[in-house]
Amino acid sequence: MQEIAAYLLLLLGGNESPSADDIKSLIETAGNAEPSDDQINTLLGDLEGKNVHDLLSEGMAKLKDVPMGGGGGGASAGPTASSSAASAQAAAPKEEEKKEEEEEMDLGGGMDMFGGGGAGGGGDY
């Protein structure tokens, strides 16, 4: 994979026809990697007589049919009469919500949610 990346970087840098020595030199210069002569030779053999830009375009055309990413959530259907009524009702009791939130914040007696059982916390782990 690093051989392919080096080849493409050399192309982007203006080298229209990177050689095996060019690829090896770039990988060695980048450090932390050993270039593989076998993989470099295989890569150059596979690309011989081919235009990399055309190969990339063909690959992208094939990828357009591949499903990628998660399903995600669906789009909202938009406001309806019932959701508008619900929104109006939800806006009214804001004072009650504040009181409930204040009550929920009081965990009573210094309990913490991890079972520490006191102000020191800790618990048995």
Domain limits at 53? Answer: 2-63
Position 100, amino acid: E
Q: What are phi and psi of 112, to 5 degrees?
A: -115, 165
Tell me if the pTM is above 0.85. no
Position 67, amino acid: P
User: pLDDT for 7-18, tens place per residue?
Assistant: 999 999 999 899
Q: Is residue 11 part of a domain?
A: yes
Q: Is residue 28 part of a domain?
A: yes
Residues 6 or more apart from 123 whose CB is under 8 A from it? Answer: 114, 115, 116, 117
Q: Is the dihedral of CA 25, 26, 27, 28 positive or negative?
A: positive
Q: How many CB atoms lie within 10 A of CB 26?
A: 21
Q: Is residue 20 part of a domain?
A: yes
The CATH number of the domain holding residue 36 is 1.10.10.1410
Provide the number of structural domains found in the chain.
1
Q: Could you tell me the two tokens for 76?
A: 């909202």
User: pLDDT for 28-87, tens place per residue?
Assistant: 998 878 999 999 999 999 999 999 989 989 999 988 888 887 766 666 665 555 555 555
Annotate the chain with DSSP letters as a single string.
-HHHHHHHHHHHTT-SS--HHHHHHHHHHH-S----HHHHHHHHHHHTT--HHHHHHHHHHHHTTS--S---PPPP----HHHHHHHHHHHTTHHHHHHHHHHHH--STT--TTS--STT-----
